[in-house]
Structure 1
Amino acid sequence: MKSYRVSAFDTAPSLENIAVPSPQKGEVLLEIHACGLNFADLLMTKGTYQDTPEPPFTLGLEVCGTIRELGSEVTGFEVGDRVAVYGGQGGMAEFGVFPAERCVTVPDAMSSAEAAGFMVAYGSSHLALTRRARLQAGETLVVMGAAGGVGLTAVEIGKQLGATVIAVARGADKLEIARQAGADHLIDVSADLAAELKALGGIDVAYDAVGGDMFKAAMKAAKREARLMPIGFASGDVPQIPSNHLLVKNIDVIGFYWGGYLKFNPKALTESMAELFDWYTKGRIKPHVSHTFPLDQAADALDILAKRKSTGKVVVTP
């Protein structure tokens, strides 16, 4: 089978032919229809992501596919079921083996491309805003990088939770995507962000996938008892937080890593995903896939992601 693999961290990933794996105890073999790309994939090519495996390995954190073989002691699934799964690696290939306990059945109405990019983006935003940030109806949420794969879902979910949502993104086209997802206010990254946020009355929750100056602006515009969530650092600048500012305003800075829940509280992920799929079937959320690429153009797909030319998700379709 074809597989897009990292052979060494100082070498560009490449498409290779490797043997189709066999499922072991508790695993399923999937024929992979689609693989959702994430910023973490870019970090993994360099070995800088917190959960990067040792080379060689196949890129691709999350997939949708059809079960072709069951390993021993797998219950609740049958050959032919279409499922989505967060595997942490192995998605950018024609086949892959994944833990059955992480698989979720995909609604019939959801396309494979939508399902492949659903778990990390929607799962991250939902769990972050409900469990960690405790976002309440009537509060004001600002989303940095609001047209990206994760940011766009935070806009949608923030609206579903009853918040006033401020979207921050680069350019009119990306801001329009955020508006269509439900954003109440739009701010271009070229603006004086702190001043714009203060003019809108300040913020209760910041969902920041960019870092750098954006996080600093959010701190300046934070209301008393605001909650700030550094989700990622697409700018490459990890902000240093002055603790005296937290003290003066009684601000919380909340750490969050969605994948970590797989290790210490997988039930939280399962319950979150069940609610999200229910929202999807009721038409309350609509995944946005801006680009799809065949497997032999995987490098182009990652390049689109790295240059921030996408809105919503980028998906590879083996």
Structure 2
Amino acid sequence: MTAPLAGLRWGLGPGWLLRLKRCRRSAPWDLGIRSSASGKELLGLFSLNNDILLQSCRNYQAVLCTELTKPLIIRNLPSPSLQPHEVRVGVRYCGVNFADILACKGLYQTKHCLPFTPGMEFSGMVMETGANVSTVQEMLWPIPEGVSYEEAAALPVSYGTAILALDHRARTQPGETVLVTAAAGATGLAAIDVAANVLKAKVIAAAGSDYKCNLALQKGAAHSVNYTQGSLKEGVKKLTDNRGVNVVLDAVGGDIFKEALHSLAWEGRIVVVGFAGGAIPSVPANLLLLKNVSALGVFWGRYREEDFPVFSSSLSSALWYCQERRIQPHVGAVFKLEEVNEAFSRVTQRKSTGKVVISMK
């Protein structure tokens, strides 16, 4: 029995199996399943020819990191036996994240034993279920009708982060002004989308080129600042009549973080979601005191262990907003599986905009 799905995984090891409920996972992490037309069943929506199913379960292609900082390799691997609390997933698309690249360099906060398959999100189809899997729940999310496999693979990490950062952590209100750094990246464009189209805030996009600034404007930002052509702080001052912004979502770190922090209005909130610039800044505590501002952090994946309902809600909300067309993920480039190293280079060299995805078709 098969069912379309979308979802998430941490790069833990070769094999596309998911262990459900409270059991340990053998490889991928969370995923979602598209509900049936009747809305009653999540599994067993489509039948697959048994010969095809058996063939598909004998082996699979996997991207492997076998040595840190070295190019990834692709191997044909035998499919592991399906355990009672696992499901087998046929992947259609995988999202590429900066964290995947850090993991393959040994620089990510979560360390993996070699060899491992990098990746944090995907879309695809449940090919087979274990004997003890009667329903899909807790670790699985439905893809609503009208959301494509490509869109589903682009949603989880970027939009989950944006929703948690702007809504759950910063409590962004309609009419407030939000500054988004690295605005043309996957998380940046997701933050613009969520802030402008869901939370009804006014967005100032900050990026490192005119092209990226223009893309951010097309995606819903009201204004933009190219921070390679002048001071971000001064640019924000001009755009806000010296009032500053209510919320900052920063994915860059370094000097950009410092300028963004100084751009906050009274009782503003800055949310740190990453350090794409490479430098981890320190926070001047006196500034927090003088302007009564708050510095917050969001590590979206940690919520899965610490507060699963909040974690799950962020993904469910992203899927629902996408179905309602209130948001629309921007897929900047699609690569084939054998082009995975080129996909990583596109992100590393900052040539990408929006989400880069890997197609398994």
How does the TM-score come out when normalised to structure 1? 0.89
Match of 2:350 among 303, 308, 315: 308
Quote how far apart the aligned CAs of 1:157 are: 0.6
Secondary structure of the 2:78 match is: coil
Decide whether the 8 Å contact of 1:140 with 1:165 is kept in 2: yes
Match of 1:290 among 307, 311, 332: 332
Q: Report what 1:53 is aligned to.
A: 112
Q: Report what 1:161 is aligned to.
A: 199
Structure 1 residues 118-129: aligned runs within 5 Å? 118-129=155-166
Decide whether the 8 Å contact of 1:21 with 1:29 is kept in 2: no
Is 2:168 aligned against 1:134? no
Quote how far apart the aligned CAs of 1:183 are: 0.2
Is 2:207 aligned against 1:173? no
Sequence identity percentage: 38
The separation in 1 between residues aligned to 2:81 and 2:162, in whole angstroms, is: 34
The separation in 1 between residues aligned to 2:80 and 2:141, in whole angstroms, is: 21
**What is the alpha-carbon root mean square deviation over aligned residues?**
1.4
The separation in 2 between residues aligned to 1:305 and 1:42, in whole angstroms, is: 9
The separation in 1 between residues aligned to 2:138 and 2:114, in whole angstroms, is: 25
Is 2:145 aligned against 1:108? yes
Decide whether the 8 Å contact of 2:61 with 2:74 is kept in 1: yes
Structure 2: state its 5+ residue gaps: 1-59
The change in CA–CA distance for 1:10 and 1:221 in structure 2 (over 3 A counts) is closer
**Worse-superposed segment, 2-11 or 100-109:** 100-109
The separation in 1 between residues aligned to 2:180 and 2:131, in whole angstroms, is: 44
Is 2:227 aligned against 1:189? yes
Structure 1: state its 5+ residue gaps: 78-99
Secondary structure of the 1:128 match is: helix
Match of 2:283 among 238, 241, 245: 241
The separation in 1 between residues aligned to 2:214 and 2:69, in whole angstroms, is: 38
Decide whether the 8 Å contact of 2:155 with 2:318 is kept in 1: no
Quote how far apart the aligned CAs of 1:141 are: 0.5
The change in CA–CA distance for 1:22 and 1:112 in structure 2 (over 3 A counts) is farther
Structure 1's consecutive aligned runs of 4 or more residues displaced over 6 angstroms after TM superposition are none
Decide whether the 8 Å contact of 2:343 with 2:356 is kept in 1: yes
Largest Rg, 1 or 2 = 2
Decide whether the 8 Å contact of 2:178 with 2:201 is kept in 1: yes
Decide whether the 8 Å contact of 2:95 with 2:154 is kept in 1: yes
Structure 1 residues 205-244: aligned runs within 5 Å? 205-244=247-286
Decide whether the 8 Å contact of 2:92 with 2:125 is kept in 1: yes
Partner deviation per Cα, 1:36-60 (whole Å, 9 max, x = no partner): 0101001000111112321111111
The change in CA–CA distance for 1:290 and 1:55 in structure 2 (over 3 A counts) is same
Q: Report what 2:82 is aligned to.
A: 23
Number of residues of Structure 1 aligned to a counterpart in Structure 2: 296
What amino acid is aligned across from residue 103 of structure 1 in structure 2?
Answer: L
Quote how far apart the aligned CAs of 1:10 are: 4.8
Secondary structure of the 1:235 match is: coil
Match of 1:272 among 291, 314, 318: 314
The separation in 1 between residues aligned to 2:160 and 2:283, in whole angstroms, is: 26
Quote how far apart the aligned CAs of 1:17 are: 2.0
What amino acid is aligned across from residue 188 of structure 1 in structure 2?
Answer: N
The separation in 2 between residues aligned to 1:36 and 1:168, in whole angstroms, is: 23
Decide whether the 8 Å contact of 1:22 with 1:29 is kept in 2: no
Q: Report what 2:24 is aligned to.
A: none
Decide whether the 8 Å contact of 2:145 with 2:323 is kept in 1: no
Decide whether the 8 Å contact of 2:68 with 2:105 is kept in 1: yes
The separation in 1 between residues aligned to 2:326 and 2:69, in whole angstroms, is: 44
Quote how far apart the aligned CAs of 1:267 are: 0.9
Q: Report what 1:8 is aligned to.
A: 67
Decide whether the 8 Å contact of 1:26 with 1:101 is kept in 2: no
